[in-house]
Amino acid sequence: MRTPIVAGNWKMHKTVGDTVKFVKEFRSVVKDVTGVEIVIAPPFIAVHAAVEAARNSNIGVSAQDLYWERQGAFTGEVSAAMIAEAGAEYVIIGHSERRTLFGETDAMVNKKVAAAFGAGLTPIVCIGETLDQRERNETYAVLDRQIKGGLDGVTADQLAQLVVAYEPVWAIGTGRNATPAQAGEAHAHIRKRLQGWFGADAADRCHVIYGGSVKPDNIAELVRHPDVDGALVGGASLEVGAFAEIVFRTRA
């Protein structure tokens, strides 16, 4: 049985001070929650403060990206080992904003996934089609390409620990979430592909979570589908009340 995961991707929101304030409030609201893995992903600069503020709570911390080299002359970049040392346990890789705005390719995603595993981090690998691609009936071909390219060389054991986030690009920040049926169909397809490529056991342990305009009022229906193992939440993870509500309704 997969324990659902609810992860908040804060993107470029919240300072160190805002992060500590959020975690202090949030941890007491969700302190009795069991049966859901709760994760927050603040900007790099607030990762360590988030880890400290969340110590001895049921909240895990993620980074939003990494660079695959261990160290060196890569101005502005942060390595997997640095993230792990700061106390984070997860790292988001290949978010559509990174792909679109910063030119990230499946080959780069692949190197980042390897680096994350190398440092003992759990990768949350984002995949998803654009509206154009969906309208041209290319959704599954795009997902297949992103999975194959991004997860090349990943072992079955690693896949079992990995989190795939299906985030249809047209649903991100638009208020237009995929319907539970659309999400369920895509997740079932992803699971089927993972089974084919990595074996049934690893694919059944791998989490596939949904992202794109997840809110307190649509989460319950989304996670009702057996292949939807939780959510990657953007906007609604910035407020303690809304994010906590999403956590509660994931468990229900």
Looking at the Cβ atoms of 165 and 202, the one nearer to ligand 13P is 165
Could you say which of 37, 48, 95, 97 is catalytic?
Answer: 95
At 96, give phi and psi (nearest 5°).
-60, -30
- Minimum CB separation of residue 64 from ligand 13P in Å reads 9
At 74, give phi and psi (nearest 5°).
-135, 70
- Minimum CB separation of residue 62 from ligand 13P in Å reads 11
The interface with ligand 13P within residues 2-21 (CB under 6 A) comprises 9
Is there a catalytic annotation at residue 167? yes
Q: According to CB under 6 A, which one of 211, 230, 240, 250 is a site residue for ligand 13P?
A: 211
Residue with tokens 């989190």: 163
Is there a catalytic annotation at residue 97? no
- Minimum CB separation of residue 242 from ligand 13P in Å reads 10
Interface size with ligand 13P, residues (CB under 6 A): 14
In 3D, which of 171, 152, 129, 172 has the Cα closest to residue 9?
A: 172
The interface with ligand 13P within residues 139-198 (CB under 6 A) comprises 167, 172-173
Could you say which of 37, 104, 167, 189 is catalytic?
Answer: 167
Residue sitting closest to ligand 13P (CB): 234
- Minimum CB separation of residue 200 from ligand 13P in Å reads 28
214: contact with ligand 13P by CB under 6 A: yes
Interface mask (CB under 6 A) for ligand 13P, residues 94-133, using x and -? -x--------------------------------------
- Minimum CB separation of residue 234 from ligand 13P in Å reads 2
Tell me which stretch binds ligand 13P (CB under 6 A): 103-111, 133-141, 228-236, 242-250: 228-236
Please give the span between the terminal C-alpha atoms of the chain, in angstroms, as a whole number: 16
Q: Which residues are at the interface with ligand 13P (CB under 6 A)?
A: 9, 95, 167, 172-173, 211-214, 232-236
Just list the catalytic residues. 95, 167
